[in-house]
Amino acid sequence: MIRIVLQGEYAVVKGDGELKTSSPKTCTVFTLYEPTSRLAVLAHVDDYVSAVDTIDKIKKTLKFRFNAQIEKVGFTAKVMGGDESFFSLQQQRKILSIFKILNITFEKVALPLDKTQISLNAQTGALHLLNQGQRDERLEYLQKREYGEWNNWLDIHYDGVPGDQIPFFQAKEASRFETDIPQFEWVNVDAARALETRGKLKLPIKTGRDVAKDGSAELMKLVTNKRADSYIKLINEKNYNLLLRRAAVDPKDIEILKFLVDHSILLEIDLNARGETSGTAFDVATKYKNQPAIELLS
């Protein structure tokens, strides 16, 4: 089976079938693969989806569905697509930054100028770049139509909001297969739209997305101890690496520490970050003999 991954979507499978996505333009596509477990990931990050939410959802899918930790699987990543526009560069930098934090080896793959479709074989890890003669134009048409409906949704819900003030949205898990795209004779976009107008073609279009949350609001609710003021200051400053080390001191802060570890990708925390004198959060927990924190961080 060929699972299709459109803009704002990701897929995680284990040695099963093929993952395919439409030709990226300003979007960034990345794959992850580990040959022993045959865990395979493909994600298509556009200008509107949160890159950190995408990788966080991949992390949780690996953990709860496949009992695998993204930091320990031994993935190799391939990153491709994107251009030099502001939002595209921002997404590319964010993805590579998170991979560095997770110690995931990555390779940047150059795409042909016509921005080919991308396919990942989940059994072998082989990456295929499908050129104009090989790609499925029905998939390209579905992507164009879905993105058009998405922009209509944005116009309704964010009318008059400047682009840089529109929030990032959550990634969706890809749930459609190539067989879900109706068979029709491809001539061009106009001919396909004519089929839709006459009721001869119904596409599996999905619209709307939920706004992504970074977890800071939920974290605030956990800060109730005598160090609340200093902790809140660190949260407002988004200095989560320092907060992680501070929360590793006292067993009473174990819920805060657990939240920071569980949401490390969303909060862009490097669990191995070192203070100038304190070392890592694990070093801090060891120094203060904080056994719950030692067990959590080890």
Q: Does residue 226 sit within a domain?
A: yes
Asked if residue 121 and residue 18 are part of one domain, the reply reads: yes
Q: What is the mean pLDDT of the chain?
A: 94
Q: Does residue 70 sit within a domain?
A: yes
pLDDT at 225: 67
Q: Distance between CA atoms of 203 and 180, rounded to whole angstroms?
A: 8
Q: What average pLDDT does this structure show over 278-297?
A: 95
Q: Does residue 13 sit within a domain?
A: yes
> β-pairing, 172-173 with 9-14?
parallel
The CATH code of the domain that includes 87 is: 3.30.1330.200
pLDDT bracket for residue 224 (50, 70, 90): confident
60 neighbors 273 (Cβ within 8 angstroms)? no
H-assigned helices in the chain = 51-66, 86-101, 137-157, 189-197, 216-222, 228-236, 240-247, 254-262, 281-287, 291-297
- Per-position b or e across 187-218, b if 16+ CB within 10 A of its CB: eeeeebeebeeeeebebeeeeebeebebbeee
pLDDT bracket for residue 261 (50, 70, 90): very high
pLDDT digits (tens, 9 = 90+) for 170-220: 999 999 999 999 999 999 999 999 999 999 999 999 988 999 988 888 998
Range of the domain at 124: 2-134+170-175
Q: What average pLDDT does this structure show over 131-136?
A: 85
Q: Does residue 44 sit within a domain?
A: yes
Question: Where a domain ends, among 175, 208, 238?
Answer: 175
pLDDT digits (tens, 9 = 90+) for 67-86: 999 988 999 999 999 999 99
Asked if residue 7 and residue 119 are part of one domain, the reply reads: yes
pLDDT at 113: 77
Q: Does residue 92 sit within a domain?
A: yes
Q: Is the pLDDT of residue 227 over 80?
A: no
pLDDT digits (tens, 9 = 90+) for 105-116: 999 999 987 779
Q: Is the pLDDT of residue 16 over 80?
A: yes
Q: What percent of the chain has pLDDT over 90?
A: 87
Q: Does residue 58 sit within a domain?
A: yes
Least confident range of 81-90, 220-229, 238-247: 220-229
DSSP state of 181: S
Q: Does residue 200 sit within a domain?
A: no
DSSP state of 38: T
Please indicate, yes or no, whether the overall pTM of this predicted structure exceeds 0.75.
yes
Number of domains in the chain: 2
pLDDT at 215: 86
pLDDT at 114: 73
Residue type, 288: Y
From residue 18, alpha-carbon distances to 28, 68, 153 in Å are 19, 20, 30
For residues 9 and 226, which has the higher predicted lDDT (pLDDT)? 9
Q: What average pLDDT does this structure show over 42-48?
A: 96
pLDDT at 34: 97
Asked if residue 126 and residue 224 are part of one domain, the reply reads: no
Q: Does residue 207 sit within a domain?
A: no
Asked if residue 130 and residue 222 are part of one domain, the reply reads: no
Asked if residue 232 and residue 125 are part of one domain, the reply reads: no
